[in-house]
Amino acid sequence: MKQMSMIFSTNLSVLISFLGVLWACPPCQADEVVLAQSKPLVAPDNQVQKMTETINLEKGQEKLQLTLTYYNGTETAPGFTWLRIASPTMHFVSEREFAGKKSYSVDVTGELTWGGNQMLVTAEGQKGSTFNWKLTTSQPTITSLSPSKVSPGHSVTIVGNNFSGDPDANVVMFGSHRARCLSASSDKLIVQVPDYVDSAESRVSVSVGGMQAGTLALTVAAYPYLSSLSANWVPPGSQFTIYGEGFSANQADISVNVGPLQCEIVSVSPTSITVIAPVGYGGEPWGFYQPVKVQVRGMPARNQLTISISQVG
């Protein structure tokens, strides 16, 4: 029994020591990102210490969810007997907030500006007393986007976490092209697809205040482009074909006009559209050199082509 008691006492001591180490260590989170932190501020003597610290933030980081943690002492160094932490924008902090612990965390969201933020630390303790601080935020992440297939110029909604409320601080890239951020909140970005995306299959990447938030795949429909016509002159009511790229195999996606008059569509493919020339130009001299206008899913095609519609060429 005596031997069992000694074993239990030894194990209990080890457990208490282990729990003490866990209590003394600041909490760690896998998705925590350190934006700024100080070097240990160590008292060189037993006098009152006055220390000025600066928290530097990149543009856009000031609109993230921010947590500032103060550490009064470490596992091996004592803390200050009393301390005062003052700032023009943040709440006043003293040793009372620590409540006998070595660390104290406070939500400072909206209390900092981008650039430099100063705070004054006044403290007294024995020589070797140590103080430091750390500013953290949650890792920004993207979880989904919709729709999954879009056209250049249209908008995409990106859903995630810990985005910046400043649209310019959220950098959204479609391949090598940066998208314009139309609106931003902590969990949603609405961006405009760039006009000239490199390929039909695009990777959308997001970074927030210099932190990578992730990458997702998105299909971008090719921008419609007119390359040529099967004829430069046709009689009213006859067929002609428009050649190009970025069209659609679905006839309902496409509309064609010659000048102000709409054409009846005969057949479509991703690279060609066959239509009937409007009969409204019959016998009218203003049917010459009319612009051919094509829209695919509401998007006007690039390049200017003209055709003459008349009984006589």
Same domain for 209 and 301, yes or no, is: no
Asked if 213 and 269 sit in the same domain, the reply is no
Instruction: Read off the pTM.
Output: 0.64
Check whether residue 238 and residue 213 sit in a common domain.
no
Same domain, residue pair 258 and 201: no
62-80: pLDDT as tens digits: 989 999 999 999 999 999 9
Q: Which long-range contacts (CB under 8 A, 24 or more apart) does 250-253 make?
A: 253/296, 253/297
Q: Which two tokens stand for residue 182?
A: 């139309």
Domain with 203 in it: 141-220
Average pLDDT in the 285-305 region?
A: 88
Domain end among 220, 243, 271: 220
- Judge if 133 and 63 occupy the same domain: yes
What integer pLDDT is reported at residue 283 of this predicted model?
58
Q: What is the pLDDT of residue 24?
A: 37
Predicted local distance difference test score (pLDDT) of residue 195: 76
- Report the percentage of the chain scoring pLDDT > 70: 87
The answer to the question of residue 116 being in a domain is yes
Q: Are residues 202 and 232 in the same domain?
A: no
Contact 254, 275 (CB under 8 A): no
Q: How many domains does the chain have?
A: 3
Question: Do residues 191 and 156 make contact, with C-beta atoms less than 8 angstroms apart?
Answer: yes
Residue 2, pLDDT above cutoff 50? no
CATH of the domain at 70: 2.60.120
Same domain, 86 and 57: yes
State whether 258 and 162 are in the same domain: no
* Residues above pLDDT 90, as percent of the chain: 65
Which residue from 127, 306, 184 is spatially nearest to 172, judged by alpha carbons? 184
Distance between CA 302 and CA 295 in Å, rounded?
A: 10
Q: Is the pLDDT of residue 104 over 50?
A: yes
Domain end marker among 104, 138, 172 = 138
Q: What is the pLDDT of residue 198?
A: 61
Q: What is the pLDDT of residues 110-155, one digit of tens each?
A: 999 988 999 999 999 999 999 999 999 999 999 999 998 887 888 9
Least confident of 153-162, 229-238, 280-289: 280-289
Per the domain annotation, does 16 fall within a domain? no
In a domain, 184, yes or no: yes
pLDDT bin (cut points 50, 70, 90) of residue 312 is low
Instruction: Say whether both 133 and 180 belong to one domain.
Output: no
Q: Of 138, 172, 202, which marks where a domain is finished?
A: 138
**CATH code of the domain covering residue 299:** 2.60.40.10
**Statement: residue 213 has pLDDT above 90:** yes
Same domain, 100 and 43: yes
Please tell me whether residues 236 and 200 are part of one structural domain.
no
Rounded average pLDDT over 181-210: 86
Candidate from 20-24, 81-85, 128-132, 251-255 with smallest mean pLDDT: 20-24
